Amino acid sequence: MCTGRVDLSFVLRAFIKGADGVIVGGCWPGECHYVTEGNYDALGNMYLTRKLLQHIGVSPERLRIEWISASEGTRFAEVMNDFSAQLKELGPLGTGEGITPETLALRLEAVGKLLPYLKLVERERMRVPVKSEDAYREFYASAESDRLFAALITDKLAISQILTLLERSPLTTAQISALLNLTPSEVARHMGSSARQGLVRYDTKQKCYALASAGNC
């Protein structure tokens, strides 16, 4: 299968199921078997996913992409041994980052709910027009990449985490703030935009937020 077909959901599913790391191996740039040069699409997806992992507190080093041709058996073994050693150094997923299993599950679930939107952002706003490893590396390390991520993804991800929490039970502003390490003003801003979209409601008597489709607080 071409690495260009490695969907973001495949990588996320592996982490949700508890994988300590994910490695994607593809044809060397310029040697793709398809005119689409799917290995560059994979490269963009991996860079974006690494930014997402870092944002939710997971080491981006847990996701790796390598170019390995079918004839490079020795290189394949070397890469896998190196990645295995790297993961041992990082420790188990979540534990190595000091994240509780519950918090990690919440964050990964919230990212998963945004996948259709994230794919659109990658394709329409963050896709590198030049088929070059250096171009991808430079873009995703640039201030422009950080600006687009903050403008297009950060708030959406925070809201997705809040809505995921509210699926479990209604919560007050203080509870949401404590659970997600957000300020009360940030929670109020996110809930204001979500209320305008008809996603949440606020119970003035109980002073808590709930999903619009849920019962009383």
Q: Encode pLDDT of 152-181 as tens digits.
A: 999 999 999 999 999 999 999 999 999 999
Pair 42, 6: CB distance under 8 Å: yes
Residue 44 φ/ψ region, left for φ over 0, alpha for ψ in the -120 to 50 degree band, beta for the rest? alpha
Residues 6+ apart with CB under 8 A from 174: 184
Domains of the chain, by residue range, sit at 3-99+117-154
At position 210, the amino acid (one-letter code) is A
pLDDT given at position 127: 93
Q: Mean pLDDT, to the nearest integer, of 39-44?
A: 89
129: pLDDT strictly greater than 70: yes
- Dihedral of the CA atoms 157, 160, 166, 172 (nearest 10)? 40
Band (pLDDT 50/70/90 cuts) for residue 31 is confident
32: pLDDT strictly greater than 80: no
3-state secondary structure 132-159: CHHHHHHHHCCHHHHHHHHHHHHHHHHH
148: pLDDT strictly greater than 80: yes
Q: Mean pLDDT, to the nearest integer, of 137-142?
A: 96
pLDDT given at position 35: 66
* DSSP-assigned letter for residue 65: E
